[in-house]
Structure 1
Amino acid sequence: MSASLVWFRNDLRLADNPALHAACATGGKVALLYILDERAGAASRWWLHHSLAALGADIVARGGTLLLRRGDPARIIPALAAELGVSAVHAARAHEPFWRETDRALDAALKPLNIGLHRHLSTALFAPERITTKAGGLFGVYTPFSKACFAAGVPEMLLPAPKVIHGLEVASDRLEDWALLPAKPDWAGGMRAEWTPGEAGALARLETFLAGPVQLYAEARNLPAQPGTAKLSPHVHFGEISPRLVWHRAAASGQGQGVQTFLKELLWREFSLHLLWQHPEIRRSPIRPEFVRFPWADNAAALRAWQRGRTGIPIVDAGMRELWQTGWMHNRVRMICASFLVKHLLIPWQAGEAWFWDTLVDADEAANGASWQWVAGCGADAAPYFRIFNPVLQGLKFDPEGAYVRRFVPELAKLPAACIHTPWETDPAILAHAGVKLGGNYPRPVIDLATGRERALAAYQTLKDA
């Protein structure tokens, strides 16, 4: 009976893992391997450490061992497969250009050894070529794409976790030696308080969401002060829970409009993967080529103020501080913060994407790139550039009592709700009574909002004139 090798990537789970299931179904011994993705940002590396620790413990409980290596997969895997007498390598199918190129190199390296590389649909609901237009092409607009997904249907077959794993043991790196956790100063306290990485944590998060918040999801998902979102994105990104399992558990919960809205949000993730498949440079190059000529500003001080939540615009600062503290930001506030950066400050969207890549625990190549391009107006199915969020109006609408701002911008906590989103317009006596000193413990706005809006529209006009 031949042995197999399972190469884990963004599928760090045992349940509904097609690559693992296929390998274990042979009845032979299985080598379970993870190779470090060196491109991960700091927050993602923190999450990865704990996710691998959880996966390793789950594997040991079933009789196997998780092997850890770092380096080039196209060199490591063929050598390991030959050493262990492996006849097949199983992995999740990748959408990311880096991994697609790696897979091609790995396949070429395995063929002379007569070892097959088998890639399985594991990190998405549909294979990239599965959802097409009537003409057979790929979609560039979300709404018809989502309708096609609903019409196609998500297969309901969910694969059980193996009860026993007949593991193959070989020399492995020690997880601690990878130094994925922050050295001093330890900036991960807020993330430890917020998250439980791993498959068990993912299932618990899903069950909590479906037990209550999903009922009000259609409205509450826009209110950052309320626990109205699933907060499953990092778990799904690392593959601690399969998108297929999330889809079917949600669909079966019978929660009406909230579930339907949630399923459509899952399809936004799917659409981002669809776009990445078509546009491999989505993190770096605008999909709409005319935006290469956009007259962006070079303002390092403003970028730094935005990164640290010191722009003087309370809802923006609250979002950026939530990100810094917890490794996550509410989706509505992500749009507000991104719009402020690329439109009011005219800072290139790639700078924002890079900061999110380093600080988000759910930093995802497809979703991060596609979402920033959507806000910047240069992507597929993007919001038009002249749609400029007014952060004050957004704060008043979605955080009317200022509870979200009070949580993450505590120096403004004693301000009345009527003025917490506009401290620069507030009576000095009210500011003094609340302990707020503009330009002191809280900054003045880095830009006048009306001025920033007009400057953004003028910059956009240069593209139209060209």
Structure 2
Amino acid sequence: MPMHDTSLCWLRRDLRLHDNAALYHALKESRAVHCVFVFDTDILSRLEDKADRRVEFIWHSIRELRDELQKLGSDLHVLHGSARPLIPKLALQLHAQAVYCNHDDEPAAVARDAQVADGLADVGIDFHDYKDHVIFERGEVLTGAGTPYHVYTPYKNAWLKKVDDFYLRSYPCERYFPHLAQIVCPATPDLEQMGFLPTDLSKLALPCGMSGASIMFKDFRARLPYYHEHRDFPAIKGVSYLSTHLRFGTISIRALARDAYHTGGQGAQIWLSELIWRDFYHALLHHHPQVVGHAFKPQFERLVFGNNKAWFAAWKSGNTGYPLVDAGMRQLNQTGFMHNRLRMVTASFLVKDLQIDWRWGEAYFAAKLNDFDLAANNGGWQWAASTGCDAQPWFRIFNPVTQSEKFDAEGKFIRRYVPELKNCPDKYIHAPWTLPALEQRARQLVIGEHYPAPIVDHALAREKTLAMFSVIVDSRGLETNEPGEHSGGPLYG
């Protein structure tokens, strides 16, 4: 490919200077590369909460990215507005011959990129996009018949058979840093200038930017050998907490997968399998964009949910009367993070105990999660709701009490987020309504007064849900073999 005099590298969900596919190709194929990030109002205008931790996380990560570029004699164009007109406009202003970026498989992003590419083509500017946020994407892992996989385990086996050091290699951007344009750009807009407010992000254990990702990966690396033993227990520091960094690309997926692939032991193997789940859901979204807003299994579009708004409000606020469910929801509301085990428990409870449409819960998680990723969030919710590909069988319903007993036996996590239960004995912490009435009064834990009574009876709710699904499913059932329990998707956190 001939060298371009000037190119523009458009950063989106890849906020790093190292091991970045689009940046590497732009630098290698250009004499002067400008980098740009757009605070895209087409996305930001849809955020109802103007104190959004994700916007602040991006803002801090952009500030660090800009600092690093300035150390190299370059700078970062930071724009605020719709990317659709802004990218072609900036490319024209810079007399760029090409715009480089990395893929984004979300349907709205695909449409945006197509419009930007068309706008660039109209004025004779090339558009180049690359795989960067997954190891294998789109049509790279297919069945022998050339069709996409709809079951995770065969996909995982094919993924592992295909992967090698070539696919895990790092892009050596540093080799071409001298090709960064030597420029000075206007100041980055403040959060307030963009209509957003500072959040409590600085109080959370979530360092931002490339440096924050490096710190957290180093910390997780020391715990990786025990990952398979600790990952399901929310009171233990067992997971990676890297999901927000993966979502915004402040760390490379290749760095994580390469490390897991070459590290021995069960912990690394299980961690790699979670990263493969992430590829699986992104490939699914590419091949089946209709899963956004619709059940992957179309027959489940006919499910008739009760959608009790009072119950939904209780679920959102963490006041269902089921301690582990409530602790998970309060963790989400207070921090923007939820342990993956609890994502499954709370999602199952919403759909199969409260008979509320999975799309309501999916939307709430999308609004609250720091690490919100459409592909994984949709895949996880459809897994829990039994409407997705390779989903939990419809007749398998989590018991919120036994899940609590199994994964937070001493109630440490529950007490952290449900302080009303701090004086509840371990014996009753998972079902505090069974605490004798006299002891409730003595411990200032009167159910219905100090802590809610269960809003539904799990056993009765389970029967109601089975009946709800049975209307759709014939007597033979859609799933004849109940699989063993698995994580239901990438283990976020």
Query: Distance in 1 between the 2:205 and 2:451 partners?
Result: 26
Match of residue 9, structure 1, among 12, 18, 36: 12
Match of 2:314 among 282, 305, 315: 305
Q: 1:35 aligns with which of 23, 29, 38?
A: 38
What's the offset of the Cα at 1:180? 6.6
Q: Does 1:243 align with 2:253?
A: yes
Equivalent residues in 2 for 1:202-213, closer than 5 Å: 202-211=213-222, 213=223
Q: What TM-score does the superposition give when structure 1 sets the normalisation length?
A: 0.94
The residue number in structure 2 matching 1:158 is 170
Residue 279 (structure 1) aligns with: 288
Instruction: Supply the AA of the counterpart residue of 1:5.
Output: L
Quote the Cα distance in structure 2 between the aligned partners of 1:64 and 1:453.
60
What are the equivalent positions in structure 2 for 1:113-124 lying under 5 Å apart?
Answer: 113-124=123-134
Q: In structure 2, what is the Cα distance between the partners aligned to 1:39 and 1:176?
A: 15
Distance 1:318-1:74 versus aligned 2 partners, 3 A rule: same
- Please give the alpha-carbon distance, in whole angstroms, between the structure 2 residues aligned to 1:145 and 1:4: 37
Rounded to whole Å, the distance in 2 between the matches of 1:330 and 1:173 is 33
Of the three residues 425, 428, 434, the one matched with 2:437 is 428
Quick check: 1:65–1:169 contact (8 Å CA) kept in 2? yes
Contact 1:374 1:383 in 2 (8 A): yes
Structure 2 residue aligned with 1:182? 197
Match for 1:344: what amino acid?
Answer: D
Aligned partners of 2:147, 2:193: CA distance in 1, in Å? 43
Matches within 5 A, 1:315-330: 315-330=324-339
Q: Kindly tell me: are residues 179 and 82 of structure 1, through their superposed partners in 2, closer, same or farther at Cα, counting changes over 3 Å?
A: closer
AA paired with 1:210? R
Counterpart Cα distance in 2 of 1:356 and 1:43: 13
Q: How far, CA to CA, are the matches of 2:75 and 2:195 in structure 1?
A: 20
TM-superposed deviation, 1:178: 4.7
Unaligned runs of 5+ in 2: 476-493
The residue number in structure 2 matching 1:78 is 88
Contact 2:137 2:282 in 1 (8 A): no
Match of 1:134 in 2: 144
1:47 Cα deviation after fit: 2.2
CA–CA distance in structure 2, aligned partners of residues 248 and 273 of structure 1: 19
Decide which of 415, 423, 440 is 1:406's aligned counterpart.
415
Aligned-residue identity in percent: 37
Opposite residue 193 of structure 1, the aligned amino acid is L
Structure 1 residues 178 and 437 mapped into 2: Cα distance closer, same or farther (>3 Å)? farther
1:103 to 113, 117, 123: 113
Unaligned runs of 5+ in 1: none
For residue 394 of structure 2, what is the aligned residue in structure 1?
385
Residue by residue over 1:399-426, the C-alpha shift from the partner in whole angstroms, topping out at 9 and shown as x without a partner, is 1111110111111012111110110111
3-state SS in 2 of match to 1:110: helix
Alignment CA distance shift 1:101-1:430 (3 Å): same
Q: Aligned-pair distance for 1:306?
A: 0.6
Aligned partner of residue 70 in structure 1, secondary structure: strand
Seen in structure 2, the aligned counterparts of structure 1 residues 433 and 62 have a Cα distance that, compared at 3 Å, is: farther
More off after superposition, 245-254 vs 364-373: 245-254
Where 1:281 maps in the other structure, the secondary structure is helix
CA–CA separation in structure 2 for the residues paired with 1:78 and 1:39:
18
Change (3 A) 1:330 1:300: same
Deviation at 1:103, TM superposition (A): 1.6
Match of 2:379 among 370, 373, 383: 370
How big is the shift at 1:440? 1.9
Give how far 1:120 is off. 1.3
Shift of 1:301: 1.0
- 1:174 and 1:109 map into 2 onto residues whose CA distance is 26
**TM-score, length of structure 2 as denominator length:** 0.89
Q: CA deviation at 1:439?
A: 1.6
When the two chains are superposed, the root-mean-square deviation of aligned CA atoms in Å is: 1.9
Structure 1 residue 19 corresponds to structure 2 residue 30: no
Displacement after TM superposition at 1:429 (Å): 3.0
8 Å Cα contact 2:137-2:279 kept in structure 1: no
The answer as to whether partners of 2:22 and 2:101 remain within 8 angstroms in 1 is yes
SS, match of residue 391 in structure 2: coil
Q: Distance in 1 between matches of 2:301 and 2:286?
A: 21
Aligned mate of 1:199, from 200, 210, 228 = 210
CA deviations over 1:278-297 (Å, ceiling 9, x no partner) = 12132311111111110101
CA distance in 2, matches of 1:204, 1:173: 25
Question: How many angstroms apart in 1 are the aligned matches of 2:61 and 2:289?
Answer: 27
2:344 to 335, 351, 364: 335
Aligned to 1:415: 424
Relative to 1, partners in 2 of residues 1:29 and 1:370: Cα closer, same or farther, differing over 3 Å? same
For residue 20 of structure 1, report the CA deviation from its aligned partner.
1.1
Measure the CA separation in 1 of the matches of 2:440 and 2:324.
Answer: 17
Measured in 2, the distance between the counterparts of 1:216 and 1:6 equals 39
Deviation at 1:5, TM superposition (A): 0.2
Secondary structure at 1:209 match in 2: helix
> Of 456, 466, 478, which aligns to 1:447?
456
Question: How many residue pairs get matched?
Answer: 460
For 2:426 and 2:354, the matched residues in 1 are separated by 26
- Asked if 1:460 corresponds to 2:463, the answer is no
Partners of 1:206 and 1:112 lie apart in 2 by 43
**In structure 1, distance between residues paired with 2:193 and 2:123:** 30
CA distance in 2, matches of 1:36, 1:217: 36
User: Structure 1 101/172 Cα, relative in aligned 2: closer, same or farther at 3 Å?
Assistant: farther
2:271 is equivalent to residue 262 of structure 1: yes
Q: CA deviation at 1:26?
A: 3.6
Deviations 1:377-405 (A, max 9, x none): 00111111111100000000111111110
